[in-house]
Chains A and B, each alone.
Chain A
Amino acid sequence: MSEHVTATYRVNSEGRTIAHPAHHTLLEVLREACGLTGTKHGCELGECGTCTVLIDGEPQLSCLVLAREVEGAAIDTVEGLEGRDLHPLQKTFADLGAAQCGYCTPGILMAAKALIERKPTPTRADVCEALSGNLCRCTGYIKIIEAVEWAAALCRGESGARPADASLYGVCKEKPHG
């Protein structure tokens, strides 16, 4: 039985050659071997969604994928979201207070990114469906859903689309960062 394997992964467009225990999941390799701890460990059984990353653009659960099965695939984690500026999703989540403890946020951001790329004008139902595998135990989902809708609008170049201030956390008049 081979204890370790050496494999090359494409994480956030960067090639990384890594030796890791042969049976490790993508989540373990990302966190332990790559030091990319943005992706979180949650239930480990596919129920909570906090370990969501994109594999060839599709949101998947990194805790249920053996790392060696995605050798050669494009893997995107929350660390790759920010370019020169924050990603619109990061801006709108911060502005609307769509996170409390933040543990579920990396997974939600990745699931939302995949949705916006697949469907630039998602309906409320599309957003709820796309995020239905990501549990948040703090905020309730209203701010999260609004942040995704707003980010989609920003990605479409519509700057005035800030959601109405029905916020539980008070009114916030500023535009998103940047």
Chain B
Amino acid sequence: MRNFDYYLPSTTSEAQDVLKKVKGARAKAGGTDLMGLLKDRLTAPDSVVSLDNVGELTGIKERDGGVWIGATTTIATVAANKTVHRGGEAVAEAAARTGTPLIRNRATVGGNLCQRPRCWYFRHPDYPCSKKGGETCYAQEGENKYHAIFDNVTCNIIHPSNLAPALWAHDAKIHVLGANGKTRDIGIDEFWVLPEEDMSKETVLEDGDLVTGVTYTPGGRSSGSAYVEVREKQSYDWALTNAAARIDLSGSRVKDVRLVISAVAPVPMRREDAEAVLKGKAFSEDLAWKAGEAAVADATPLRDNKYKVRLLKATVAHTLIAAAQRAKGGK
């Protein structure tokens, strides 16, 4: 790992000041992703700005009908929080299934949304892949068991964050403090960047932008949400496929629904076509499987990941069934 100048500010405005003034300065929260990138020399900033001492970026609060989670709140804190469990079931489940207890004790919500992809070609220092400015996506013809089954033309990474689909199912907004000192809210549906749009990054954040927190909309009385992931190992593993859903019922009729799938494309994807299968109809397991079918209809799997199509269909069905169960009061 290369040495760097290190800043340890204690307020958001001090942190933002460094990010603004020091060219190429990089924010660091828990470091569970950044340290790996630094060690493998996938990034080598001259300056690192630790958010460790910025207390105002930590916490979980109910605010104007939403639930605000500060950017540096640890994932372990989210997984254990009562407010999140009540009305944000998908978020709590996604947090509890992230990495290992050792990771969750340090990893933060802001870092989770801004982490870089885990494609083994991208992470390997010896592969000059297209994501790193090279010419080739090695996964296209190479070992692509864990790669994308949608939007997989120029680059086959899959989106790595568990929290992203769960927060999206709850219509989250991401709060950003820009290098110009202005704050802005970015809808989570507008936060992601496809490789075709910009190969060098995965989010719309610009240099110097600081995520200060996220606010999601918790479900009400006749609403339920769920996050389901499928992985190879029972304990600690990345998701092969995952999905998050929120369902609002009126009696047994689906009044509103959000379905977001992930780990299957370079960005998390809301599937309105699958939502449409359910909307306005009486919820049934059969319908949930039909929605699963709709969610995979346009998949374009690679040589080694065709299995993900069937897996995703089941993941979607199980997620919708779990969310509907909770909406019916079986929380």
Is A60 a contact partner of B102 (Cβ separation < 8 A)? yes
Is B101 a contact partner of A66 (Cβ separation < 8 A)? no
B47 nearest CB neighbor, chain A only: A1
Is A129 a contact partner of B101 (Cβ separation < 8 A)? yes
Which residue of A3, A44, A68, A111 contacts B102 across the interface (Cβ within 8 Å)?
A111
Given the known interface contacts A1-B3, A1-B46, A22-B3, the answer about A133 and B100 at a Cβ–Cβ threshold of 8 Å is yes
**A interface SS class:** mixed
Which of the segments B30-38, B179-187, B276-284, B285-293 contacts the partner chain?
A: B30-38
B125 to chain A, nearest CB (A): 13
Which of the segments B4-12, B87-95, B207-215 contacts the partner chain?
A: B4-12
Is B3 a contact partner of A52 (Cβ separation < 8 A)? no
- Which of A2, A58, A133 is the most central at the interface, judged by chain B CB atoms within 10 Å of its CB? A133
Is B101 a contact partner of A132 (Cβ separation < 8 A)? yes
B103 CB–A CB distance under 8 Å: yes
A64 to chain B, nearest CB (A): 5
Which residue of A68, A129, A133 contacts B8 across the interface (Cβ within 8 Å)?
A68
Query: In the bound complex, what is the Cα–Cα distance between A44 and B40 (angstroms)?
Result: 10
Is A60 a contact partner of B106 (Cβ separation < 8 A)? yes
Is A1 a contact partner of B102 (Cβ separation < 8 A)? no
A21 CB–B CB distance under 8 Å: yes
Query: In the bound complex, what is the Cα–Cα distance between A77 and B236 (angstroms)?
Result: 24
**B interface SS class:** loop
B52 CB–A CB distance under 8 Å: yes
Query: In the bound complex, what is the Cα–Cα distance between A46 and B4 (angstroms)?
Result: 21
Is A23 a contact partner of B103 (Cβ separation < 8 A)? no
Is A133 a contact partner of B102 (Cβ separation < 8 A)? yes
Is B32 a contact partner of A133 (Cβ separation < 8 A)? no
A59 CB–B CB distance under 8 Å: yes
Contact bitstring A1-16, B, C-beta under 8 A = 1, else 0? 1110000000000000
B43 CB–A CB distance under 8 Å: no
A25 CB–B CB distance under 8 Å: yes
Which residue of B2, B4, B235 contacts A129 across the interface (Cβ within 8 Å)?
B235
Is B236 a contact partner of A65 (Cβ separation < 8 A)? no
Which residues of A, 56-85, contact B by the 8 Å Cβ criterion? 58-61, 63-66, 68-69
Which residues of B, 4-30, contact A by the 8 Å Cβ criterion? 4-6, 8, 30
A57 to chain B, nearest CB (A): 10
Which residue of B6, B8, B105, B236 contacts A60 across the interface (Cβ within 8 Å)?
B105
Contacts of B99 in A (CB 8 A): 46, 133
Given the known interface contacts A1-B46, A65-B31, the answer about A22 and B6 at a Cβ–Cβ threshold of 8 Å is yes
Contacts of B3 in A (CB 8 A): 1, 3, 21-23
A177 to chain B, nearest CB (A): 29
B4 nearest CB neighbor, chain A only: A23
Contact bitstring B31-64, A, C-beta under 8 A = 1, else 0? 1100110010000001000101000000000000
Query: In the bound complex, what is the Cα–Cα distance between A23 and B103 (angstroms)?
Result: 20
Is A46 a contact partner of B102 (Cβ separation < 8 A)? yes
Is B235 a contact partner of A132 (Cβ separation < 8 A)? yes
B197 to chain A, nearest CB (A): 29
Query: In the bound complex, what is the Cα–Cα distance between A45 and B35 (angstroms)?
Result: 8
Which residues of A, 114-135, contact B by the 8 Å Cβ criterion? 128-130, 132-134
Is A64 a contact partner of B6 (Cβ separation < 8 A)? no
Is B102 a contact partner of A25 (Cβ separation < 8 A)? no
B153 CB–A CB distance under 8 Å: no
B297 CB–A CB distance under 8 Å: no
A106 CB–B CB distance under 8 Å: no
Query: In the bound complex, what is the Cα–Cα distance between A23 and B31 (angstroms)?
Result: 13
Is A1 a contact partner of B31 (Cβ separation < 8 A)? no
Query: In the bound complex, what is the Cα–Cα distance between A128 and B233 (angstroms)?
Result: 13
Contacts of A1 in B (CB 8 A): 3-5, 46
Which residue of B5, B31, B46 contacts A66 across the interface (Cβ within 8 Å)?
B31
Contacts of B103 in A (CB 8 A): 46, 61, 133
Contacts of A2 in B (CB 8 A): 5
Could you list 12 A-B pairs, sorted by A, with CB under 8 Å? A3-B3, A22-B4, A59-B102, A65-B106, A69-B8, A69-B52, A111-B101, A129-B235, A132-B101, A132-B236, A133-B99, A133-B103
Inter-chain pairs besides A46-B35, A63-B35, A69-B8, 12 sampled, C-beta below 8 Å: A2-B5, A21-B3, A23-B6, A45-B35, A61-B32, A61-B106, A64-B31, A64-B36, A65-B106, A69-B50, A132-B236, A133-B102
Q: Name B residues whose Cβ lies closer than 8 Å to a Cβ of A.
A: 1-6, 8, 30-32, 35-36, 39, 46, 50, 52, 99-103, 105-106, 235-236
